[in-house]
Structure 1
C-alpha cells in the first residue's frame, strides 16, 4: 500500500473526493493526509478526515497565508491539533519565491508552528521555497529548545538543506516534480537520501507527475512518483510502497 503524505482534498467537493478515493484505492493508495493552510480552514480538513476513511489531516498556516490575519498563538495551534484524525502540524515554513507575506512574519509563524510541533509531539510539515538558509537556521536554532520531528515536503531545495534535515533527524518527501525531465538534480538528491527517511506525496491538486503533467493532480498519481523513486534506489515498486508506508507510520506515528 502507498500513502500520499501530502494533498489538499479541501480543493474538491464531496462527490469529487469520493471519486478520488475510489481511484486511489484502485491504484493501491490506501491512505492520505489532507493538509491545513489556514487556521480558518482547520475545521474543513478535520471534517474531511472524519467523513472519509483513510484520510488524515494536519492543521496550520501556509507561509503564503500568514499575512492574511494575525498569527495564531502556539496554544491555538496546539488546541486545533487535539482532534483524533490530526496527525501533524502545518504546513508551515518559508516561501521567498512568491513573498506573499513579509519575511519576518513568515519566520515568526514558522517558529510558532515548530513550538506547537514540539508541544504536541506531532511532526511538522515544512514548506521550503527559495529559503534554504533561513529554513536550516531556524530548524537548527529551535532544536536548541528541544527536539521535534519534521518533513521537508515537496522537496525542491538544494542538497545542503536535504542533508542538514537528515542530520537533524528529519524526513524528505518527494512529489511529482521527481518525474519532470528537468528535475535531474532532485532525482540525484533523492537517490542519495537514506531509505528510512523518504516519503512520497502528490501535493494535489498541483504538480501532477509525468504522464499527467499539466492536468489536475490527485492522490492516485503518487504511484508514478513512487515508481521513479524505486528506480533511483534499485527497488521494485512493491518494496518502495512498503518502505515509504513504514516511514510514514514512523514519522506520523498518530496514524499508525
Structure 2
C-alpha cells in the first residue's frame, strides 16, 4: 500500500486531498495542529495515522521528521500543504505574528521538503508536492509576510526540482488563488487582501483534483486557472505594474468579497 504524508490535513485543501488519496487506496500520515479535527478525520478514513504537530514548534517538527526518516515504509507522496496568513499591514503587525508565518509557511515547509527528498532519494522514487499560492507571483498588500513566504517557497520548490532532476523523485508546486476554505472565510471577515477575491473562489475539491493531476503528469507548476498564471507571470516581469493596476483590481476584489460574505451568510455562517 502506497503512503502519503499530508500537512495541514485538517483544513480545507488538506482534508479534501486526504479523502481523495484514501479513496485511491493510499495509507495516510496526516499532520495538523488541530488535534480534535485531525482525529475526527482519521476516524473516517482507513489506514490513517494522525500526528498532532504545531509546525511552528521546532522540537515538535524535529520529532515528526525523525519519525518520518526512520519509518521503514516507502513514502510515495509528500503533500506540504500547511499555511497561515495575517491581514495586517506590516507596520501594524506584531513581530511574533510575522515570525509565526515565516516558521509555518516557509521554514517548516523547507525542513519537511528536505526530509522527504532524503527519504525518497533512498527509495529512488517519490513525488513532493507543495501547496504554495498565487501570492507567490502576485504580492498581496495587507499580507506582505504571507506573500514573502510564498515567493520564497516557490523559489525553493523550483530549485529543489532542478536538484532532483533525473533521480526518480519529482517536485511540483500548486498555485491556487481564492479557495473556499476556513482560511479564506476568516480573511473575508477580517479584512483580507481584496486581491484574494477578484476571482470566484474554487472549491477545496477542485484544488485536490489539481494535486492528483500533478501526481499523474509530474509537471513543475499548476495554477487554478490560466488567467491566474498569465497575470502572475506578467506582474513578475513588471513588478511596478501592480501599483498601477491595484486600485482597479482592489475594487473588483471588494465586490467579490462582498458577494462571498453574502454567500457565507446564506449558508448560515456569520
TM over 0.5: same fold? no
Higher gyration radius (CA):
2
Give the TM-score normalised by the residue count of structure 1. 0.39
Give the TM-score normalised by the residue count of structure 2. 0.37
